[in-house]
Each structure stands twice: as C-alpha cells, then as structure tokens.
Amino acid sequence: MPSERCSAETMLEHTFVHLPGIGPATERSLWEQGILTWPRALNAHSPGGFSPARWGQTCRLIEESLHSLRRGDHRHFARALSSSEQWRAWADFRPRTAYLDIETTGCSGADTVTVVGLYDGSRTTSFIAGDNLDEFPEVIAGYSMIVTFNGSSFDLPFLRRRFPGLQLDQLHLDLMHVLRRIGLRGGLKAIETRVGIDRPGDVAGLDGWDAVRLWREYCHGRDESLDLLVRYNAADIENLEHLAALAYRRMREGLCLPCDRSGDEGADS
C-alpha cells in the first residue's frame, strides 16, 4: 500500500477536494483530524462532519481513486479535479507529462498553427506545418498531463480548431493561472526573468510577434528563420518544467499540510 508519510514530493494522495461535497474547508478538517492520506482515510472511523453512511460512500470513492492512481488512469483525475486543482497531480504524473507550446500565424480565430513544441522532461519534439504537424494528435495521446502557459485560452483552443475531434482528455496544468496564485504575474518571459531563468542568447529577446515574423520569413524562403523559430519554441516548453516544479512546491507549501508524526514516520515537508 502507498506510504502514509506526509510526502514533500507528492500531493495527490493527500487530496480530498476531488470528492463530491468536499471543499477546501472540509479537506483541512480531515487533515487536522489526522486523516492525511487516502490509506489513512480507509482505516478511519467516521470523522467529525460525516455520518457513517456518508463516510462509507466517501471511502468507496477514495478506493476508486487509489485504484485509478495505481493504474495510472489520468482520466479519472482529469474528470474529478477542478481545473484550478489539477496542479496537485503533477508530481504523480510527471513521468508522463508533456510541456506544450504552439506558434501561430497570428492571434485571431482565422489564424493557423505553424509549430507545436512538446517537451517530456528529456526530449523536445517539434511538429511543423507542412512537414509533420499531422503526427501531433497521435503523439499527444500518449501523455497523461499537459502543462502550458495560458493554454486554456490560447494553445488548446487553437489545437482543437486545427484538429477537429482531437481528444485532449489529459490533466491540464495551466501555469499562468497557478503562478498568479503564488504572486507571479505577467507574461512567461517576465516571470522567467523574475525567478532567474535565462534563455539562450539567440532567442533571449524574441516574443510571440517575432514568431509570426519568423514563420513569414520561412514561407518566403529563409530556412534559417524556421530554425530560429523552433529554438524559440523549444525554450518556451523546456522552461515550463522549471516553472511547474516551482509552482507545485509553492502551492503545496501554501496549503500547510500537517505532517504525520506518529510511530516512525517522520515529518519531511
């Protein structure tokens, strides 16, 4: 059975807000009563605020969550967790996470996708219009979580228009919103600068409008412009992993999760 320690690395098994009728206040109450994890909940009698019948039903749903986590069933948590709480699944699904960013011909609904970049923590793959862009749906289907910056409003709607019927049923961590919750506002590049993340010199001063310009230059025969565009896109997605780790840690610390100090299980948060 998974450890009941108050782990600094994972958050999902400490989470109860994905269960019907449980919000942040009730989750906090469970933690304060010593019910810190799903395994601990399954061994507990009805805690304060729960009738035996309601707690029995809650435990059945907790068992379902445990089984889903063991199977790596990301769809269960994508359905159960609100969009604002899906950050909690990042550490558990990190090995199957894709950091995603797109480039387009502009920002209107009539514009199209030119480049899609995916980074999996070790390898970067670029999908380019007119080359291998149509391979993107099959590749993204192999991931459990997608991490973006403003993807809810920009990247994912563009992708759904470009690929009708695209099944984006993964967990989604939109860093723009989570970073705001820890006091980091502004665009991606400004936040990177604020937390000390540097970009390679040839892409350090580029922005989204430069990406549009570079694509146009490539369409007019300048292959080196595409090379620079792909490097710019790669910097976006590779830096998302660092920001995801920062956001996850700060969000978890902000919850002030109590630690189980019973027996030989030391606190490590």
What's residue 110's pLDDT? Answer: 76
Domains 12-71 and 91-250 share a fold: no
Residue ranges of domains in the chain = 12-71, 91-250
> Which numeric CATH code is attached to 91-250?
3.30.420.10
Residues 112, 130: contact at Cβ < 8 Å? no
What's residue 10's pLDDT? Answer: 86
* pTM score of the predicted model: 0.91
Sequence-ordered list of residues with C-beta below 8 angstroms from that of 69, at least 6 positions apart, any chain = 2, 12, 13, 77, 92
Helix runs in 2-51, H state only: 24-32, 38-42
What are the pLDDT digits (tens) for 176-196?
999 999 999 999 999 999 999
Residues forming beta bridges with residue 99, ordered by sequence position: 119, 147
Residues forming beta bridges with residue 98, ordered by sequence position: 146
**pLDDT > 90: what percent of the chain?**
85
Under CATH, to which class is 12-71 assigned? Answer: mainly alpha
What are the pLDDT digits (tens) for 101-156?
999 998 777 789 999 999 999 999 999 999 999 999 999 999 999 999 999 999 99
**pLDDT > 70: what percent of the chain?**
93
